[in-house]
Structure 1
Amino acid sequence: MKKIASLVFVAFLGGAISLVGFSYMMNNQRIDNNESISAVSNGFVSVPAHYSSLPNIAGEKTDFVDAASMSLDAVVHVKNTSMSTYYDPFSDFFYGRRNGQTRQREQVGTGSGVLISPDGYIVTNNHVIDNASSIEVTLNNRKVYQAELIGTDPSSDIALLKIEGEGFESIPFANSDAIEVGEWVLAIGNPYNLTSTVTAGIISAKGRDLGGNSSTESFIQTDAAVNPGNSGGALVNTRGELIGINTAISSQTGSFVGYSFAVPSNIAKKVIEDIMEFGNVQKALIGIQYDPRKDDLEGVMITSVTKGGGAKKAGLLEEDIIVKIENVKIRKFSDLKGQLSAKRPGDKIQVTVLRGETYITKTVELTEYKTLKINVLGFSVEKLTKEELKKYKIKSGVKIVNIKNSELQELGVSEGDVLVEINNEKVSSVDQVDKLLKEKSLMGYFKMGVLNSKGVKENYIFK
């Protein structure tokens, strides 16, 4: 018995000695802070032991389970059905060249949408539901609803839908101005009809201008995989909050190659609130002009101030360089455009400019972007009020004003009539009129649908 006890004691003592010796050896092998990492073998670098005591920054908030579970049920599959007109070349055989008939066929497109309220409001991309005759929404639980189109804003590529019901899962909005480059994000949508798909990435850039895009010029860029069908889906942070609506990818093939883009949540939120409250989107102007050739500056240089605009009234001058709006740095025009897109006419904002070597902050009241002069047709258009939309029982259109074309007046077009269509495409904003008229018509002419004062629609064709 004594022999066994002796053996146990010796074994215990030997283990203790080994442990102390190992600890001593490891302490002596620690690399001092001033030492360089030199042990490289087969492309792998040996990291000093003391580096493990640093905070595990890369590992923080990389568990996306909670964010995904909070968001999945609020992202829906959107199917739109539209009718397209095409030319039937075979009818030339019977009717003669260029006397053939046109036919219509049904087209089906798919995308994604995000439930933003328990009572069924859904935000998606305008291009997902553009020209749709019917819109079908499928939830993550496979329940199918017919959706009503509440309103659209083609310039920001945002549309608002509504399904009937209560108690839907929804995603809360986050402040997209507060996001940082390098922050983890999730893209949730339905690529290639693969419903409820989640991908992860980081924010690669903010305020991205996609090649001089004339509308939304302040996209969030991310490397989270986004493919056809993801459009209109959610870009969320690790708390499951909505920071953007996935809209576009940069690709030569049509599939994801490393970059995707989203409309910031602040812009999307403002657009849908405007649609719900006013029936159209309130566009705010600061009242300046700038030279895009000078966009290599750190900020936006004012080349002229608009008479009667907020910038002039506040005392901003030519050659002032706008460097900050509120607390947001302005490095290029897309940053400025992004901030203005989230504001309304009448809002007062703090604008910091660099004048010479002095920083000056002014309070600027934003003005309204209201009227567009159309030289090619000899009239101007301006947005409709909410009351005018109700009067004509329409959801979109623009008012015709300042007619200078006597031919139009002879045809019966009057000031106050409503332009509702151009080349069979619904008009929803002043911006869209400008865009449609600049595009080359495939039919070789402009066709305008106009509601007169009696609410009767007339079509006018201009070659």
Structure 2
Amino acid sequence: MRRATTLVALTAAAAFGGFSATAVREALDNRAHAATAPVPMAPAPVASLPMAGAGALPGAVEGQQLPSLAPMLQRAMPAVVSIHTKTRVQVRNPFFDDPFFRRMFPQVPQERINESLGSGVVIDAQRGYVLTNHHVIEGADDVSVSLADGRTFSAEFLGSDADTDVALIRIPSGNLTELPLGDSSRLQVGDFVVAIGNPFGLSQTVTSGIVSAVGRSGIRGLGYQNFIQTDASINPGNSGGALVNLRGELVGINTASLNPRGSMAGNIGLGLAIPSNLARDVVQQLVTTGEVRRGTLGVDTQPLDARLARSLGLPETQQGALVARVHANSGAAAAGLRPGDVIVEAGGQRITSPMALHNFEGLQPVGTKVPLQVLRDGRTITLNATLREQPRSLAGDALDPRLAGATLAELPETLRQARGQGVLVEKVASGSRAAQNGLRPGDVITATSAGQVSDLASLRSSLAEPPRQLVLLIERGNVRGRLVLQ
């Protein structure tokens, strides 16, 4: 069943990340609000400041210097860069299906260039590594980086991870300033932080605030989530910029702003940043392997409602992830997890729901050893599991001959957040058995005649013994339907 949500709308999810000059993208992608290249604004009149001795603020009070962020920012700001992307978009005009019009109007452009602006942070001056958001450079044909000193370089794409919205690019090294990576796990609510970026195309803008929350999750449409929440203003163009502590250490990558009324309502103090520790782990994998490999327990879970809690002898208000199935040869099977167990804690993190467990797993690399707190037969036990890698895609005929020609993949996290559980039909070969059976690229399989489908592992497990008649429940756009496979 498709889950409905009434959570606060995410405005400019990455919002507030880069600008997109495409109205279509503005309507469909809540990660970026459309805006063309900034128009120079005339400066507002500024009243002349009083000279020292004529009412100016003193430099010190009772011998103590007034506190200022300026010394720290002088060191940190040169490491924050502006990122400019260009994307070529094909323009289809139905008139040009006719050779006559193509011959009569040969000069009409068949493509347009969309330009976008965002921010980034130099994290390794010797190698020229620049950290930014995936959505800032996603699909770009050309990426350039402008430094605070006015230099501009073409950037080389090294890799990105859409599910955590982290990307790594490289520019020529030489006389660069880098920001040291801080330990985001030490952040506490109330710590002072500063956001540095290029909002609205304005270079080198600084806003300050405090850490409003840590470990923020449960936000629709933003992939794996463990955000730092801050009331420092994060506006369009800030995405990929730096969130720094008062020591000038990078503790987060600004990625989104929550605003129920849209970006034109202005900042309301609900900004989100990717923790630096998470970004560090993603960068390490991108540099060493070029991709991000995630571990998983290998279980199917379901919500624990009052009825199920009573049947297990638990309080009706008990929260957790109820294990419905343990996949063979999985980390969960090796650890001794059983159907009927309720996972309430993983790696020291409280687990209140299946989505919380899925989010936790998605942020851990392969091989991570995870202690689990589990309720079983009215007792709390501790199990130790090692997360194992699961394939991100499979050929359909590896599961069932009736799926031959289809490539099946895990749902991207943004799609999973919006739709819930399922498996994505990534490709369908023309003329294949899967195509003849009616499967199309973009279909989402949510169940089969063998059971519910939460992810690729559950689909593979449910088809371990192929049913005589294979029926798929699919979602295609906003339509749900059934396919009987021959």
Residue 171 (str. 1) matches residue 143 (str. 2): no
Paired position in structure 1 for 2:237? 229
Q: Select the residue among 80, 85, 89 that pairs with 1:80.
A: 85
Contact 1:294 1:301 in 2 (8 A): no
Q: d(CA) in 2 for partners of 1:183 and 1:372? A: 42
How do 1:44-443 residues align onto structure 2 when only pairs under 5 Å count?
A: 64-88=69-93, 91=96, 103-119=110-126, 120-213=128-221, 215-251=223-259, 252-254=261-263, 255-292=266-303, 298-331=319-352, 336-337=357-358, 339-355=360-376, 358-373=379-394, 378-380=405-407, 407-408=431-432
Alpha-carbon deviation of 1:339? 4.2
Aligned residues: 340
Alpha-carbon deviation of 1:213? 3.5
* One-letter amino acid of the counterpart of residue 309, structure 1: S
Q: d(CA) in 1 for partners of 2:376 and 2:299? A: 15
Q: d(CA) in 1 for partners of 2:209 and 2:353? A: 25
1:286-332 superposed Cα distances (whole Å, 9 cap, x missing partner): 22222257598554443432222112211123343434433444455
Contact 2:89 2:111 in 1 (8 A): yes
Paired position in structure 2 for 1:13? none
* One-letter amino acid of the counterpart of residue 86, structure 1: V
Q: d(CA) in 2 for partners of 1:356 and 1:66? A: 59
1:169-226 superposed Cα distances (whole Å, 9 cap, x missing partner): 2222233333223322221111001111111122223333354437223322222110
Contact 1:289 1:303 in 2 (8 A): yes
Q: d(CA) in 1 for partners of 2:353 and 2:68? A: 34
Contact 2:143 2:155 in 1 (8 A): yes
Q: d(CA) in 1 for partners of 2:79 and 2:386? A: 37
Q: d(CA) in 2 for partners of 1:201 and 1:268? A: 21
Paired position in structure 1 for 2:19? none
SS in 2 for 1:281: coil
Q: d(CA) in 1 for partners of 2:162 and 2:133? A: 9
Contact 2:303 2:320 in 1 (8 A): no
- Judging by fraction of residues, say which structure has more helix: 1
SS in 1 for 2:223: coil
Q: TM-score, normalised by structure 2?
A: 0.60
* One-letter amino acid of the counterpart of residue 297, structure 2: I
SS in 2 for 1:360: strand
Q: d(CA) in 1 for partners of 2:475 and 2:147? A: 38
Alpha-carbon deviation of 1:358? 3.9
Paired position in structure 1 for 2:38? none
Q: d(CA) in 1 for partners of 2:352 and 2:369? A: 21
Q: d(CA) in 1 for partners of 2:388 and 2:276? A: 23
Q: TM-score, normalised by structure 1?
A: 0.63
Q: d(CA) in 2 for partners of 1:410 and 1:357? A: 46
Contact 1:218 1:335 in 2 (8 A): no
* One-letter amino acid of the counterpart of residue 80, structure 1: T
Q: Which has the larger radius of gyration?
A: 1
Unaligned runs of 5+ in 1: 1-60, 384-402, 412-420, 423-429, 432-436, 442-463
